Amino acid sequence: MAAKARILVVDDEESIRDLLTIGLSHRGFEVKAAQDAKEALNLVGAFVPHAAIVDVMLPGEDGFQLTRRLRQDPHLYILILTARDAVTDRVQGLDDGADDYLVKPFEFDELVARLNAGLRRIQRPETAVWEFAEIRMDDTSHRVTVGDELVQLTAKEYELLRYLLLNPGRVLSKTQILQHVWGYDFPGDDNLVEVHISSLREKIRDRQKSVIQTVRGFGYRLGD
């Protein structure tokens, strides 16, 4: 089975976020939603979206500014979704790096059609398998092996390991891990991360803490 296309939705209206998250999920996409640019940028590194649907009127950094930052990824399809329909706004959005522009209110089927067309034009080179030391994660089949042994992980353990594998050698703070794995507004604490790290170490036989290393006062990293 082919991996699902990953869609990042950025909109400060909860009703729009819910509509797009539920609707696109039912159409076979994997969706994560953010309410502002800061949350969106925190999601990008671990989620690695194929497409972003960006509202212009965001609190703080607006959608045009966010588009310019997202455009650093040449393989990302960016669709601006907004109530602002002036020609000057459309021109600015396209000049800032958007691939398409859809005005609210919109027909959901049209949005999906534009999304599919854009994804056909801009194809992200997929790396569906990540390896580090003896760990191998196949993100298409969602299989994790250590050596020749299949490892059974919970959904959150899997997301945590994927985030670590996407950032080898990089120190990830507990706050970053909470934001990326549990969500930006998750009301959890550091203990939740510690518990899942401990469980993950046990399952991948990293009891000596030589693969998932603790960097005291900072967080965790995958080490040599």
Q: Which CATH number fits domain 6-121: 3.30.230.70, 3.10.28.10, 3.30.360.10, 3.40.50.2300?
A: 3.40.50.2300
Residue 5 CA neighbour count, 13 Å, CB half: 23
Percent of the chain with pLDDT over 70: 93
- How far is 36 from 62, CA to CA, in rounded Å? 8
Tell me what pLDDT residue 1 has. 33
What confidence score (pLDDT) does residue 178 get?
82
* Mean residue pLDDT across the chain: 86
Q: Is the pLDDT of residue 57 over 80?
A: yes
187 confidence band (pLDDT: 50, 70, 90): low
pLDDT tens profile 111-139: 999 999 998 887 665 667 888 989 999 87
| 129-222: CATH topology | Arc Repressor Mutant, subunit A (1.10.10)
The upper half-sphere exposure of residue 49, i.e. CA atoms within 13 Å in the direction of its Cβ, equals 27
